[in-house]
Amino acid sequence: MDLLIAALLGLLEGLTEFIPVSSTGHLLLAGHFLGFESSGKTFEVVIQLGAVLAILTLYGVKVTTLLVAAARGDSVALRGVVSVLLAFLPAVVIGLLAHDFIKSVLFETPALIAVMLILGGVVLLFVDRLAPMPIHTDALALPLRTALIIGLCQCLAMVPGVSRSGATIVGALFLRVEKRAAAEFSFLLSLPTMGAAVAYDLFKSRDLLDFSALSEIAIGFAVAFVTAVFVVKWVLDYVGKRGFALFGWWRIIVGVVALAALWSGF
């Protein structure tokens, strides 16, 4: 792997991790068509840490303040923390039970990824029209039942191409959560979800990890971090004003192009 491919994949990770287009699907398709696969998936796992760090950088003060307030007994803050952890719980259970199947079967099926990108794009195109009028406007004040259902929706993203943020946001919208609040709750939920997923992947592949290409890993990590910072800053305002149609078309175009390339023998 050269530095250009490392930068390209880092850019792809940063661009797609926090918008509803499936970063995993994009990385797996890019790896398939570029003929790239790192030993033990070291590169792919580490650049995800760049995206996690981007969220921590932007939301670190808010999360720290929330945790401190919850520890002091603030009922509003405590409810917010509990809602995020409750939404995180289904991913823990299903992730532990199905991890090996997901990684060995679903992650190795490019056609499935392309199809899921297209189907998810169609869902996003309709969600703005079909979602009911929102009644929840604060990401940290969602009813616990709503948070749990959003967490169950997040588990759909274990199928590559579905999109973690896409599944949580669409679920939230149909549960009458306002667009900006849905996106923000998805960002906050990504902290425990992505952190745990990366840690578990590192543990499971600890004997296969290969850090021999440190310069490429560092480039991918840095590009993913910087790109994700800008994307997170931009996406809240964008979806609050314009919705999700752009991301729906993005998914459909990428999925169709990928299927065409696969059918052509690439």
Q: What is the pLDDT of residues 182-240, one digit of tens each?
A: 989 998 998 899 888 888 777 776 666 666 667 888 888 899 999 999 988 888 788 87
C-alpha 216/C-alpha 125 separation (Å) is: 37
Q: Coil, strand, or helix at residue 177?
A: strand
66: which 2 tokens? 């929330």
User: Which pTM does this prediction carry?
Assistant: 0.85
pLDDT in tens, 51-98: 888 888 888 888 899 999 999 989 989 999 999 999 999 999 988 887
C-alpha 31/C-alpha 35 separation (Å) is: 6
Q: For residues 16 and 224, is the Cβ–Cβ distance under 8 A?
A: no
Percent of the chain with pLDDT over 70: 91
Of 244, 260, 207, the closest CA to residue 131 belongs to 244
pLDDT in tens, 127-144: 877 878 999 999 999 999
205: which 2 tokens? 């592949």
Of 248, 249, 244, the closest CA to residue 128 belongs to 244
Q: Kind and range of the H or E element at 144? A: helix 144-154
Q: Which residues pair with 136 in a beta bridge?
A: 177
Summary mean pLDDT of the chain: 86
C-alpha 231/C-alpha 72 separation (Å) is: 33
